[in-house]
Structure 1
Amino acid sequence: MPQTAHVIGAGVIGLATAFELTERGVPGARVTILDPDPASGATHHAGGMLAPAAEVQYRQEPLFPLMLESAARYPSFVDRLHSATPLPTGHRTDGTLVVAGDRADAGHLEDLTRYQHTHGMAVERITVREARRMEPSLSPAIAGAVHIPGDHQVSPRLLVAALRDALTRRGVRFVADEVTNLVRDGAGAVTEVVGERTRHDATGAQVILANGLGAGRVGGWFDETNPLRLRPVYGDILRLGVPAALDPLVSKVIRGFVEDRPVYLIPRDDGTLTLGATSREDIQPKPRLGGVYDLIRDAVALAPGVEETTLLETTVGARPGTPDDLPYLGAVAENLVVSTGYFRHGILLAALGAEAGARLALGESPDVDLRACAPVRHSHL
């Protein structure tokens, strides 16, 4: 078993993978995590819904079993993390309601529900009256609803804070540096990890490349051009404060369609709501006014009480997308594992991705089929 590991990236994937390495016997003091600004990328702006059914999108069938499997592993992952740190993760098991803003949206929801059932998803059709009994703040004008009781959620910022605390308690070393290059020997094994300010001997160690979009800027581990075809997909997201008199405004995650635009509201344990999220592929890395306007308008249409909340924060995250929206997860050299490109599902897939990444680094076979996630599958593009 390798007793030394260098994890590149301290978002949820890198941190969770380091945690799984220590769970499997790698001493914390032999694990180094390199990141110039831990948990500041896509993880910081994520919603945190563990919702394999609600997150289903058409023509992403290879992704569905990974989402379902990762959601099934989350309770164990969270329980083990809670055993390693007193910090909370914001894990909640309240379920999800998906609602339709008008008749056209209800037709969309009906089609989506049939598609989810076709793929074995546990989605319950309910009446609008039943939905409003569960969540009285929903508008009486909504035109349809389904209940997904198996959906859970975490608070991404709490989750990564808990992971960092657990890893620190186990002696893991954090290095504030951005990795730029990996040096290989004649056989292709990584022998050195090179950052902007530091260098780290990787001879006989395992290296996990898990720094999201940054993986596309790390050189040296491939022969010609970088085989990772990563692209930033921006998502505007808001944090709202709920007045004490209205708290909780909602108790479950509320997802909906308003004029075919998706929107969601996530209740947090601290009395706030997360409102998201847009999805755009442009060159605007800051919140876009039109997107923010749409989110607020659509949330108010579904739950009018949102008008009474206060706007605490507006941010935008860049999710690492791939051409087929599947992650890059696999071993590409004797001692190099790539784990990135999780797009919109980084939090949901973290339990599976971290465990698989740790198994690969330790020379074990993952207990899930990852052939569709081969890191070099787009090298010809």
Structure 2
Amino acid sequence: MSPTHSSTRPSDVLVIGGGIIGLVTAWRAAQRGLATALVDPEPGGGAAQVAAGMLAAVTELHYGEETLLGLNLASARRYPEFVAELTEASGRDPGHRQCGTLAVALDADDRAHLRDLHALQSRCGLASQWLTGRECRRLEPMLAPGVRGGLRVDGDHQIDPRRLAAALLTACERAGVRLHRTWAQRLTVDRDRATGVVTADGTALGAGRVVLAAGSLSGRLEGVPADVLPPVRPVKGQVLRLAVPRDRPPLLNRTVRAVVRGSHVYLVPRENGELVVGATSEELGWDTTVTAGGVYELLRDAHELVPGITELPLTETRAGLRPGSPDNAPLLGPTALEGLLLATGHFRNGVLLTPVTGDVLAHVLTTGELPAEARPFSPRRFGASALSEQPA
């Protein structure tokens, strides 16, 4: 399709995708004095509307992800200053709570798993405290009597992703980011260089550099050469929201998480009385159906942790798509196609990695160099075979 009309003002930077990763990239680029535009039909939407917002670098640690841990910790350390700056820039409170996390075990197998996790955390120099079941219930009295033990991690906090997205959108608008509320349909390439996009309505938007930050959709943009197309797939997650009545005390004071019968479940209490329960992890392509089975399993597992949740009103059920990569780590920085950069593939750590992603992309866009902390996450770490084997 040929463009029907063109934008009269090419941008220095054009960001494709208006989720929290695209928004923070656009905001930071505009702060650095770059003329910045963003293309998304609904900026501030996407996976952030479903995510729970756990900033859990320590309790989210998985075996084999020690390199990713360093990036997660770097971003977690930046969060307080990042929130303060964003609040001032936007006039909005993104809902950051430094309330800590408690990971608990309900049976002997779960307890052994947590003990192993605690040992791994200790080897990585992370701060976590082992508690008995009685000590866990002293911290959170509404926990089930059967809790066998747990890990207290005071450094794992939370933020409200919906409020974060709204604050970033306002900050972008105030910083002069031009918003094009439409789909980016095709990347334009001229002489082996990315030069902009053609939108769904046929508008050609030119740019000096293009940042592809479209979450799970990043691998579907037309016009991207096969050897640089990001190997990102959608991973479905179902989430529930419950409401604690205002005339009742909070059910929980901190985030509580556990593995129940092999499935991960977490409960994230908000200051406004909302309780987020999540999340399933399903490799089902682009399906975003909320299923009875998904809702049942989440409520069943959450009830085993905190029996009192069955008395709460169920206010929302949602399903979203996490952008998964082959190694569960993000793709950050320049690709083999000149002028095209990636900020995608954050999987379950998109909210946590928001501050560091914005800083990394702003640094690359202004200096041309990828910071040392982000070099293990260059898109070029994947070979041509991984880049060409995209899910349908």
Q: Name the TM tier (shorter chain).
A: over 0.9
Of 132, 157, 178, the residue aligned with 2:137 is 132
Residues 31, 175 of structure 2: 8 Å contact kept: no
1:150: how far off?
Answer: 0.5
> d(CA) in 2 for partners of 1:301 and 1:201?
53
What residue is the counterpart of 2:6 in the other structure? none
Which residues of structure 1 form unaligned runs of 5+? none
> d(CA) in 2 for partners of 1:243 and 1:74?
30
> d(CA) in 2 for partners of 1:146 and 1:350?
25
Q: Assess, with a 3 A threshold, how the Cα gap between structure 1 residues 196 and 52 changes in structure 2: closer, same or farther.
A: same
Residues 71, 348 of structure 1: 8 Å contact kept: yes
Residues 192, 199 of structure 1: 8 Å contact kept: no
> d(CA) in 2 for partners of 1:258 and 1:192?
47
> d(CA) in 1 for partners of 2:289 and 2:139?
36
1:364: how far off?
Answer: 4.3
What residue is the counterpart of 1:15 in the other structure? 23
Corresponding letter in the other structure for 1:191:
T
> d(CA) in 2 for partners of 1:232 and 1:300?
28
Residues 14, 211 of structure 2: 8 Å contact kept: yes
What residue is the counterpart of 1:257 in the other structure? 259
The CA deviation string for residues 24-46 of structure 1, in whole angstroms up to 9 with x for no partner, is 233xxx32110012233222111
Of 298, 310, 315, the residue aligned with 2:313 is 310
Residues 144, 304 of structure 2: 8 Å contact kept: yes
Corresponding letter in the other structure for 1:307:
T
SS in 1 for 2:210: strand
> d(CA) in 2 for partners of 1:64 and 1:3?
34
Residues 30, 176 of structure 2: 8 Å contact kept: no
1:290: how far off?
Answer: 1.8
Corresponding letter in the other structure for 1:54:
T
Residues 239, 272 of structure 1: 8 Å contact kept: yes
Residues 132, 148 of structure 2: 8 Å contact kept: no
What residue is the counterpart of 2:3 in the other structure? none
Residues 180, 217 of structure 1: 8 Å contact kept: no
> d(CA) in 1 for partners of 2:88 and 2:372?
25
> d(CA) in 1 for partners of 2:241 and 2:162?
12
Larger CA deviation: 368-377 vs 257-266: 368-377
SS in 2 for 1:43: helix
1:212 maps onto 2:215 in alignment: yes
Corresponding letter in the other structure for 2:302:
A
1:63 maps onto 2:98 in alignment: no
1:24 maps onto 2:32 in alignment: yes
SS in 2 for 1:55: coil
1:62: how far off?
Answer: 2.3
Of 88, 92, 98, the residue aligned with 2:93 is 88
The CA deviation string for residues 304-324 of structure 1, in whole angstroms up to 9 with x for no partner, is 111111110011111111111
> d(CA) in 2 for partners of 1:315 and 1:91?
22
Which residues of structure 2 form unaligned runs of 5+? 1-9, 387-392
Matches within 5 A, 1:216-295: 216-222=219-225, 224-225=226-227, 227-283=229-285, 284-295=287-298
Corresponding letter in the other structure for 1:297:
R
Corresponding letter in the other structure for 1:281:
E
What residue is the counterpart of 2:331 in the other structure? 328
1:173 maps onto 2:181 in alignment: no
Corresponding letter in the other structure for 1:315:
R
Residues 101, 259 of structure 1: 8 Å contact kept: no
Residues 227, 378 of structure 1: 8 Å contact kept: no
| TM-score, L = length of structure 2 | 0.91
Residues 335, 361 of structure 1: 8 Å contact kept: no
> d(CA) in 2 for partners of 1:228 and 1:253?
33
Corresponding letter in the other structure for 1:36:
P
1:3: how far off?
Answer: 7.1
SS in 1 for 2:24: helix
> d(CA) in 2 for partners of 1:21 and 1:258?
42
1:338 maps onto 2:346 in alignment: no
Of 7, 14, 17, the residue aligned with 1:6 is 14
> d(CA) in 2 for partners of 1:214 and 1:200?
20
SS in 2 for 1:4: strand
Residues 237, 314 of structure 1: 8 Å contact kept: yes
Residues 228, 378 of structure 1: 8 Å contact kept: no
Corresponding letter in the other structure for 1:95:
G
Larger CA deviation: 151-160 vs 359-368: 359-368
SS in 1 for 2:379: coil
The total of aligned residue pairs comes to 374
SS in 2 for 1:202: strand
1:277: how far off?
Answer: 0.5
Residues 44, 169 of structure 2: 8 Å contact kept: no
> d(CA) in 2 for partners of 1:178 and 1:161?
20
1:181: how far off?
Answer: 1.6
SS in 1 for 2:385: coil
SS in 2 for 1:214: helix
What residue is the counterpart of 1:194 in the other structure? 198
1:243: how far off?
Answer: 2.1
| Identity %, equivalent residues | 41
1:61: how far off?
Answer: 2.3
> d(CA) in 1 for partners of 2:239 and 2:146?
25
SS in 2 for 1:160: helix
1:367: how far off?
Answer: 3.3
> d(CA) in 2 for partners of 1:85 and 1:114?
41
The CA deviation string for residues 345-369 of structure 1, in whole angstroms up to 9 with x for no partner, is 1101111111111111222434333
| TM-score, L = length of structure 1 | 0.93
